[in-house]
Amino acid sequence: MADLTKVARAALGSAAIAAIPVSAGAATLDTEPNNSFAAAQPATVGDTISGTLCLNTGGGTGCTVLDTADFFHYTGLPSGGSFDFAFNHPTAEFGFLLAGRYTSGGPAVDSVSSGGSTLVHLTGTIPGSGELFFGITPSLTPPGTCCAEGYTARLTVAGARVSAPAAIVLLAAGLAAVGLDTVRRRRRS
């Protein structure tokens, strides 16, 4: 490495860091109580959440405690980046479920309905606070007579993109710095 310039070492180091593998998300179960914003379950980007809503405890539904909503709170996200909350409702026996994005105290800013195993996506831009709230609730339309319904959800994010003009300016500044370094080295020789 002694033959490499500082610029070449920096480029090589950056490439090595970019090539470090990222671990896959873990499977996570929803943890009760997470039925309100105050009790929202902290969640990690990339983890697949598996949960169940219990909307009726009678008639042999298999659930004994009402669970009408599950809320999840993500923090430390890249401000201005994009998000994709992928959600499905694979059992879909009795009704539809909604996945909604909420402000820190409600109400839902946006939502998407799922009545089957096909993934549906709730996408948008991460706010300046770097945090997002999502909730899984029963759909009111069409009305369901759901008793216990399972779901899976997963959040993925991408950092804020540098606009083309800004990228060009950064590239030009980098090339100018390399050029000045070359001129300075020639004068020393």
Residues 78-88: pLDDT tens digits? 999 999 999 98
Q: What distance in Å separates the CA atoms of residue 129 and residue 177, rounded to the nearest whole number?
A: 35
Q: What pLDDT is recorded for position 7?
A: 55
Q: What distance in Å separates the CA atoms of residue 49 and residue 153, rounded to the nearest whole number?
A: 5
Classify residue 67 by its DSSP letter: B
Q: What angle do CA 68, 71, 77 make, to 5 degrees?
A: 165
Q: What is the pTM of this model?
A: 0.67
Q: What pLDDT is recorded for position 16?
A: 37
pLDDT digits (tens, 9 = 90+) for 38-74: 788 889 999 999 888 877 766 665 677 777 888 999 9
Residue 92 pLDDT > 50: yes
**Three-state SS for 44?**
coil
Highest mean pLDDT among 5-19, 95-109, 130-144: 95-109
Can you tell me the mean pLDDT for 156-168? Answer: 71
Q: What pLDDT is recorded for position 132?
A: 94
Q: What pLDDT is recorded for position 81?
A: 92
Q: Which residue has the tokens 């902290």?
A: 42
Residue 28 pLDDT > 50: yes
Q: What distance in Å separates the CA atoms of residue 68 and residue 148, rounded to the nearest whole number?
A: 10
Q: What pLDDT is recorded for position 176?
A: 81
When pLDDT is cut at 50, 70 and 90, the band that residue 9 belongs to is low
Q: Nearest CA to 91 among 54, 131, 59, 128?
A: 54
Contacts of 41 (CB under 8 A, 6+ apart): 30, 31, 34, 70, 71, 72, 73
The CATH number that domain 24-158 falls under is 2.60.120.380
Can you tell me the mean pLDDT for 132-146? Answer: 70
